[in-house]
Every structure is written in structure tokens, then in C-alpha cells.
A and B are shown apart, each in its own frame.
Chain A
Amino acid sequence: MGMQVVATSARALAVAELCRHLLARYRGIWGLAWRVTLGSAASVLIYCCIAAKYQWKLALISAERGLELAIAVVIVAVFLFVRYYGVEAKPADRSLALGFCLYSCFSVLNNTILERFLDKYVTLWNFLGMLAFLASLLLWAWALRQPQAEVSREETLLPEGFYQTIGPQINIRLRLLNEQLSQFWKTEAPRN
């Protein structure tokens, strides 16, 4: 079980590194993204602790499931950021993330079933776990089949204060559009 903890922690670190690699070039977005993803991961962990209902016999399985779920949430959250802001993600990064996420999701499901049917499911649990790991390994090997080019450390950024000046102005304009649309929606008049 000690090795399991080391392996899961190592995977968590690898996912953190992948996230940093994807977004750290954009300092502002990265600052927001790591707070949001970490907050989501913490919420998931808390939920998993509550869902475990203090069954000490299954504490390790529950802890692992919580950590795996948190890893999956972090990956999905970071890729939602990538998508929303239109940041470029290389195919290799996508495949790596997909492998990590699929493995974590599978582990969550596998552990959830194991928790319920502890005695009958252990052999199948081992077999399916191995299968999921091999599938993820294949995905990672495919993603890294070619050497990866080094990316520049940071993009050329706008001067500080630019966002603080323009950001709220844009939001005001977006709000104006919304308000006008709302007025249009609410306007009541007799039909011609």
C-alpha cells in the first residue's frame, strides 16, 4: 500500500507539472487557474471524506479514491481554462492529460465498486486496474513517441495596469448589452 501512495502522489505531481507547463507562460491566467483548480480539488477531497462516512476499514481505499477524483478534477478544470481562453495545447500534452484523467476516473469507479463488494471483487479489481494502467501507458508512450520542442518560458505580456483599466470597462459594456437585451425581453406592448 506504501508503493500505491508513492505512485499516486507521483502522478499528482506529474499532473501539477503538466498544468504548469500548459498555463504558466500566461502569468495572469495561471495565477487564477491554480487557485480555482486547487480549490476544486480541495472541495472534492472534502466531499470524498464526508462520503466515506468514517469507515476506518476502508479508509485507504476512500483516500485513494478521493485523491484520484481530485486529480481528474484538476485536469478537467485546467483544460476548461485552456479551452475558454483559447490557449494552445500541444497534442502530446492533450494525450498525456487524457491518459492521466482516464486512469484516475477508472480508479475512482474501480475503488467505488471495491468498497461495496470487497471480498468478491478483489481479483477482478486487480486485473482491471492493471488493464487501465496499460491503456494509459500506451497513450503516454504514443504522446511522447517524438522528442518535444522546448517552449518559451513566458509570452510577451501587456503592461501591468492595462487589464485593471480595460477589464472592468469591457465588463460594463457587456453588462450594458445584457441590460438592453433584458429590457427588450421585458417590454410589454399590445400586439398589432
Chain B
Amino acid sequence: MNLAILLFFVFVAILLLGLGWALRKPRKGTKLDADPCWLEERGPRQVNFLPQIRQALAPEDYDFLSRRAPRAVQRRVRRERRKVARAYLAALRVDFRSLLRLARVIAVLSPEVAAVQEFERLRLTAMFEWRYQMIRWKLWAGMASMTQLDSLSNLVSGLSVRMEAAMKELGERAAIAAELASLRDGRGLDVA
């Protein structure tokens, strides 16, 4: 069998796998919700737990323990902190996905969509997923240092505040858009 034939077979196999994946029933909650008011209720919920998580990752606590507590306790604390960091990473991913879902809903409901923006988003998603998995693996293996954990806490704190503001703004805009759309349907108002 020569290479060209083999390539055709491989290509068909990839197509069938792709179709199988695309035709799979979506998981609950991933289907498009066409109601723009849905956007209003969404927001980074993890921001509510931020003070507790920052406390858990604070380097001062660890310094204190390293001076006073035995090694076993220090190890346990380190383990617990990593667990917290993993949970926080997962929460970060939830925020990312919620933002992504918001972007998709807006794209689907928009009369015009820019290919550049959409491909950029796809690229960012792939990058995020890759980095997320790598960091998660690093945390599991115990290769992440305490400084890194602390930098994670700073990362999320700054980000969550910005995201909270952004989501609020987006929710308000979506509500206005929904109102405009209902006006357009009801009274023939042309908003375009």
C-alpha cells in the first residue's frame, strides 16, 4: 500500500472520529442558552472565597511553621497548601470556561462575527488548557515551590477583581441588548 492510499485512509478515519465527537450529545449545561438575560447571572463565583484562599497561601504562615512546628506538620501543611492551590487552579478554569461560554453566546447571537477574534479565542483556549494541565501535573508531583503558590494567589486576586467588574459590565450590556431586541420585535424599532 503506497503512502497516498494510506493518507486517504487516515484522513477518512480522522473525519469519522471528528464527526463522532461532534455528533455526541452535549453534556448538560453546555447547550446554548439563547436568552441574553442568562449572562447577568454569571460571574466568577470564586472571588467570594478569595480572602480564605489568600490566607491559606500566605507565606508568613509557612515561615512561622518552619520555625515552630516539627517536620511532619510542615509536610502536612505543604500538602494541604498544594491541595488548596489545585482547587484554586480548578476554580480559575471554571472562570475561564464561564468567560468562554459568555463569548460563544455573544458570538452566536451577533449578526456579524470576526474570524480573527474567534480563532484567537480558540488559540487562547488551547494554550490555557495546556498550561493548566502542566501546572496541575507540577502540583501533583510536588514540583511547585511555595513562591509559585504565592504568585498564583496574587495572580488570581488581581484577575478576579478585574473579571468581576468585566462580568458585571457585560451583564448590564446584555440586559440592555435584550431590552432593545424585545423593543425591536414588539414595535418594529430598527436598532441596526
Contacts and interface: CB of A to CB of B under 8 A. Distances in A.
Contact of A171 (B112, B120, B185): B120
Interface string B84-113: 000000001001100110111011111111
Contacts of B155: 180-181, 183-184
A155 B110 CA distance: 10
A181 B128 contact: yes
B21 interface: yes
Interface in A14-36: 26-29, 31-32, 35-36
A174 B148 contact: no
Contacts of B8: 51, 65, 69, 108-109, 112
A83 B182 CA distance: 28
B145 A191 contact: yes
Contacts of A27: 110-112
Contacts of A178: 124, 127-128, 131
A163 B106 contact: yes
Contacts of A175: 124
Contacts of A170: 99, 102-103, 106, 121, 166, 170
Interface string B61-97: 0100010000000000010000000000000100110
Given A79-B23, A112-B8, A167-B106, A158 B132 contact: no
Interface in A75-97: 75-76, 79-80, 82-88, 94, 97
Contacts of A169: 166
B141 interface: no
Contacts of A97: 19, 23
A151 interface: no
Nearest to B148: A187
A191 B80 CA distance: 16
Given A51-B4, A169-B166, A184-B151, A31 B177 contact: no
A189 B145 contact: yes
Q: List the 9 shortest-distance A-B pairs measured between CB atoms, nearest first.
A: A189-B147, A28-B113, A163-B110, A79-B22, A86-B32, A180-B155, A28-B110, A189-B145, A83-B22
15 contacts: A28-B108, A28-B111, A28-B112, A32-B115, A35-B115, A69-B11, A84-B104, A86-B32, A97-B23, A105-B15, A164-B114, A180-B155, A180-B156, A181-B132, A192-B146
Interface of B: 2, 4-5, 7-9, 11-12, 15-16, 18-19, 21-24, 26, 30-32, 34, 36, 62, 66, 78, 92, 95-96, 99-100, 102-104, 106-115, 117-118, 120-121, 124-125, 127-128, 131-132, 134-135, 138, 145-148, 151-152, 155-156, 158-159, 162-163, 166, 170, 173-174, 177, 180-182, 184-185, 191-192
